[in-house]
């Protein structure tokens, strides 16, 4: 018996010296994707606790109200770069929002090359689209040709990301008319943060051109308006008086096959027999921002014509 116990004791002592005690458990190795659960070092490494899981993406400045009441220039939160409603670009840009009659209006702001910009170009999209409908090549052209200018592409109320109070599906004519406030409020937002940017140009497409000319009539700081594929009474909003009373330069553009807009361009030109109006009619039937691609291969691309007019 003693002879048997001595070898057994020696075996147990040898196993202990080698660190073999009992089978390892799963406790501490499963973890919870890098969060507080689990104690094993294998799953709690920094590789699983990146900023997108710890709230940096969800708590970015754009969603925490850092721009509320238009009091901050803001920026794109970590994890949101390039997710601002605009195509990818190397231009420095940030997502901002500001208040407009209770609506939270979102936009993408492209910084100027100048530390003290003196101009602002506001891009206003057409019906049932958003700021992403503007070709990035056009935005880059504006940025390059106007290094002293900020470019701001906005989502009108009820469109894109600007839907805190609803969508355009519930709008009547009065609601569409009030869209001009989104442009006027953008002017005030820019003025508060870039006080030297005192010259404002507005480029509107279709419904956006309606809002642009109405804003221009009311807000005298708007120096030039470009109306792409306008309508004289689109969505029940008559622009006759605004087109006639706006006292600065207007560029009106349409395709001849887009008869509703082509007729509106002709009427706008007739109404504005004193102020300077540049009329551009293209062949085809393309409407709104589709005209950029449709005219790109021609002798007078729309983007170039707009740059010439704004200069």
Domain assignment of residue 64, yes or no:
no
**121 φ/ψ angles, rounded to the nearest 5 degrees:** -115, 115
Bridge partners of residue 154, in order along the sequence: 107, 124
Domain assignment of residue 266, yes or no:
yes
Q: CB atoms < 10 A from the CB of 283, how many?
A: 11
Q: Using one digit for the tens of pLDDT, what is the confidence trace for 199-216?
A: 999 999 999 999 999 999
CA–CA dist 108, 194 (Å, integer): 15
Domain assignment of residue 299, yes or no:
yes
Contacts of residue 271, Cβ cutoff 8 Å, sequence gap at least 6? 240, 243, 244
- Counting the structural domains of the chain, the total is 1
Domain assignment of residue 178, yes or no:
yes
Stated as kind and residue range, the H or E segment containing 152 is strand 149-154
Structure confidence at residue 278 (pLDDT): 96
Q: Using one digit for the tens of pLDDT, what is the confidence trace for 157-209?
A: 999 999 999 999 999 999 999 999 999 999 999 999 999 999 999 999 999 99
Distance of CA 153 to the CA centre of its chain: 6
Do the Cβ atoms of 229 and 258 come closer than 8 Å?
A: yes
Q: Counting Cβ atoms within 10 Å, is residue 27 exposed (0-12), middle (13-18) or buried (19+)?
A: exposed
Mean pLDDT along residues 94-119:
96
Mean pLDDT of the chain: 79
Side-chain-facing half-sphere of 179: CA atoms under 13 Å: 34
Q: CB atoms < 10 A from the CB of 127, how many?
A: 19
Q: Is the pLDDT of residue 241 over 80?
A: yes
Residue of 85 and 25 predicted with greater confidence? 85
Mean pLDDT along residues 114-122:
96
Q: Is the pLDDT of residue 121 over 60?
A: yes
Q: Is the pLDDT of residue 7 over 50?
A: no
Structure confidence at residue 86 (pLDDT): 55
Domain limits for position 110: 76-310
Contacts of residue 74, Cβ cutoff 8 Å, sequence gap at least 6? 61, 62, 66, 67, 94, 95, 96, 97
Domain assignment of residue 247, yes or no:
yes
CATH number reported for the structural domain that contains residue 94 in this entry: 3.40.50.1820
């Amino acid at each position: 018996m003693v002879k048997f116990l001595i070898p057994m004791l020696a075996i147990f002592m040898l196993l202990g010296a080698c660190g073999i005690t009992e089978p390892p458990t799963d406790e501490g190795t499963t973890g919870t994707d890098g969060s507080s659960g689990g104690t094993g070092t294998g799953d709690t490494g920094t590789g699983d606790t990146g900023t997108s899981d710890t709230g940096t993406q969800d708590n970015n400045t754009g969603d925490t109200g850092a721009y509320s009441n238009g009091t901050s220039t803001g920026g794109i939160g970590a994890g949101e770069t390039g997710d601002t409603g605009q195509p990818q670009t190397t231009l420095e840009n940030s997502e901002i929002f500001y208040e407009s009659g209770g609506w939270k209006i979102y936009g993408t702001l492209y910084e100027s090359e100048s530390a003290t910009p003196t101009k602002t170009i506001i891009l206003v999209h057409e019906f049932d689209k958003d700021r992403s409908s503007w070709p990035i090549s056009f935005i880059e052209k504006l940025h390059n040709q106007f290094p002293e200018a900020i470019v701001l592409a906005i989502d009108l109320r009820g469109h894109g990301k600007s839907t805190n109070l609803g969508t355009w599906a519930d709008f009547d004519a009065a609601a569409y008319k009030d869209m001009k406030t989104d442009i006027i409020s953008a002017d005030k937002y820019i003025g508060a943060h870039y006080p030297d940017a005192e010259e404002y140009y507005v480029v509107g497409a279709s419904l956006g051109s309606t809002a642009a000319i109405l804003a221009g009539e009311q807000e005298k700081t708007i120096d030039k308006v470009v109306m792409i594929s306008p309508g004289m009474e689109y969505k029940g909003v008559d622009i006759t008086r605004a087109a006639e009373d706006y006292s600065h330069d207007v560029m009106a553009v349409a395709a001849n096959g887009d008869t509703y807009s082509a007729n509106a361009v002709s009427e706008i030109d007739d109404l504005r027999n004193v102020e300077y109006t540049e009329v551009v009619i293209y062949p085809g039937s393309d409407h709104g921002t589709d005209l950029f691609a449709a005219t790109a291969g021609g002798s007078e691309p729309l983007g170039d014509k707009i740059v010439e007019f704004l200069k």
